[in-house]
Amino acid sequence: MRILLMRNAPLFLILTLQLCMAAAHAQNRISTSNGHAWFSYFGDHPVSKRWEVHLEGQWRRHDLGLRWQQLLLRPGVNFKLKERVVLTAGYGFVDTFQYGQYPVPYRFPEHRWFQQVLLKHEVGKLDFQHRYRLEQRFLGTRSDPAIDRIDSSRYENRFRHLTRINVPLSHDKRYYIGVFDEFFINFGRNVAANIFDQNRAYVALGLPLAKSTKIEVGYLLQTIQQRNGRVFEYNHTLQVNLFSNLPFLK
* Domain annotation covers residue 11: yes
How many domains is the chain built from?
Answer: 1
Range of the domain at 175: 2-244
DSSP β-bridge partners for residue 215: 207, 242
What string of DSSP letters covers 38-74? EEEEEEEEESSSSEEEEEEEEEEEEGGGTEEEEEEE-
* Domain annotation covers residue 249: no
d(CA 99, CA 106) in angstroms, rounded, equals 10
How does pLDDT run along the chain (250 residues), one tens digit per residue?
Answer: 444 444 555 555 555 555 555 544 555 889 999 999 999 999 999 999 999 999 999 999 999 889 999 999 999 999 999 999 999 999 999 999 999 999 999 999 999 999 999 999 999 999 999 999 999 999 999 988 788 899 999 999 999 999 999 999 999 999 999 999 999 999 999 998 889 999 999 999 999 999 899 999 999 999 999 999 999 999 999 999 999 999 987 6
Q: Do 167 and 180 meet the contact criterion of CB atoms below 8 Å apart?
A: no
Report the candidate in 99, 97, 123 with the shortest Cα–Cα distance to residue 108. Answer: 97
The CATH code of the domain that includes 192 is 2.40.160
* Domain annotation covers residue 250: no
Residue 19 DSSP one-character state: H
* Domain annotation covers residue 239: yes
* Domain annotation covers residue 81: yes
* Domain annotation covers residue 24: yes
Q: Which amino acid is at 130?
A: H
